[in-house]
């Protein structure tokens, strides 16, 4: 019999979790036990603090649903999401860098034609984002699907707007034979992460900025290429240096150029002032 003491509890727990039948599960769980125990010892965790942590995790689970991922938001603000992204996507320096998925991606966005408007009349400055998708050698990638989503001018994503039963500011665009694409939407604005839940409660106890700079999300998954999850940020936007989820990278900052009424990149015309940005996504082949 092993009597449990403060000195041997970690070794006993590690030994138990080392019995996991899957080797990777055993590796992950034994390391998790060691680090959790080391954390508790380092901060001299009290019972009241332990219970507060348990209740915080419980509330995080309770507020999460199919449209709101509070645990992903937790990982984002702790910097864990970006660390995992960077460890798992060590791409060629010439390839477009990856960033976090974030908690607001929704599967099943509608497929739109080149230059079709995914804003569907929502208020905001008309915005055209266009360019190409190509490989590291400069060859165009035809038929690449860009899954695009963003917040509205109030900083709200579809999942944060009550009683929405259709796609809102999200769509899928396929590249043409020459690799070109054109997204029509409204210019994004910076916004605050949700502050009405457990993550917001925690952030409010610090001097951490809870804002994100203006950006648009992209997910590009093409057979034979490394999948890419990334953002494009507006050059000169507020909070570029203090993005609460650590997602900003210089290579992803692009100029949003104001334009007068007239011809637009989709081959049409605009009767009102609009803005545009150009960006070429560069994908890395697998293997």
pTM of the model: 0.90
Does the pLDDT at position 1 exceed 70?
no
Does the pLDDT at position 171 exceed 90?
yes
Q: What is the DSSP string of the chain?
A: -----TTTHHHHHHHHHTT-SSHHHHHHHHHHHHHHHHHHHHHT--HHHHHHHHHHHHHHHHH--SS--HHHHHHHHTTHHHHHHHHH----TTSPPP----S---S-PPEE-TT-BSSTT-SS-EEEEEEEEEETTS-B-TT-EEEEE---TTS--GGGSTT--S--SEEEEE--TTSEEEEEEE----EEPP-SSHHHHHHTTSS---EE-SEEEEEE--TTB--EEEEEEETT-TTTTS-TTS---GGGEE--EEE-SEE-TTS-EESS-EEEEE--EEE-B--
Average pLDDT, the chain: 95
Does the pLDDT at position 2 exceed 80?
no
pLDDT tens profile 188-247: 999 999 999 999 999 999 999 999 999 999 999 999 999 999 999 999 999 999 999 999
Lowest mean pLDDT among 61-70, 191-200, 249-258: 61-70
Domains located in the chain, CATH noted = 9-68 (no CATH), 75-283 (2.60.130.10)
């Amino acid at each position: 019999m092993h009597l449990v003491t403060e000195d041997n509890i970690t070794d006993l727990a590690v030994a138990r979790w080392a019995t996991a039948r899957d080797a990777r599960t055993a590796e992950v769980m034994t390391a998790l036990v060691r680090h959790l125990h080391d954390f508790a010892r380092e901060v001299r965790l009290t019972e009241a603090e332990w219970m507060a942590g348990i209740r915080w995790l419980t509330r995080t689970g309770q507020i999460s649903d199919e449209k709101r991922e509070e645990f992903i938001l937790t990982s984002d603000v702790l910097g864990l999401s970006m660390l995992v992204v960077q460890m798992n996507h060590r791409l060629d320096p010439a390839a477009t860098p990856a960033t976090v998925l974030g908690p607001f991606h929704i599967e099943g966005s509608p497929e739109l034609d080149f230059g079709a408007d995914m804003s569907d009349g929502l208020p905001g400055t008309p915005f055209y984002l266009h360019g190409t998708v190509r490989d590291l050698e400069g060859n165009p990638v035809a038929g690449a699907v860009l899954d695009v989503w963003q917040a509205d001018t109030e900083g709200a994503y579809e999942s944060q707007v009550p009683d929405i039963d259709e796609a809102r500011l999200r769509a899928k665009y396929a590249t043409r034979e020459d690799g070109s694409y054109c997204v029509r939407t409204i210019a994004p604005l910076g916004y605050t992460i949700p502050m009405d839940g457990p993550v917001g409660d925690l952030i409010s106890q610090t001097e951490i900025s809870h804002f994100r700079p203006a950006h648009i999300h992209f997910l590009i998954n093409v057979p034979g290429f490394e999948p890419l999850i990334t953002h494009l940020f507006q050059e000169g936007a507020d909070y570029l240096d203090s993005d609460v989820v650590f997602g900003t990278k210089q290579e992803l900052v692009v100029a949003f150029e104001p334009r007068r009424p007239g011809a637009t990149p989709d081959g049409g015309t605009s009767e009102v002032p609009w803005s545009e940005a150009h960006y070429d996504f560069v994908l890395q082949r697998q293997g």
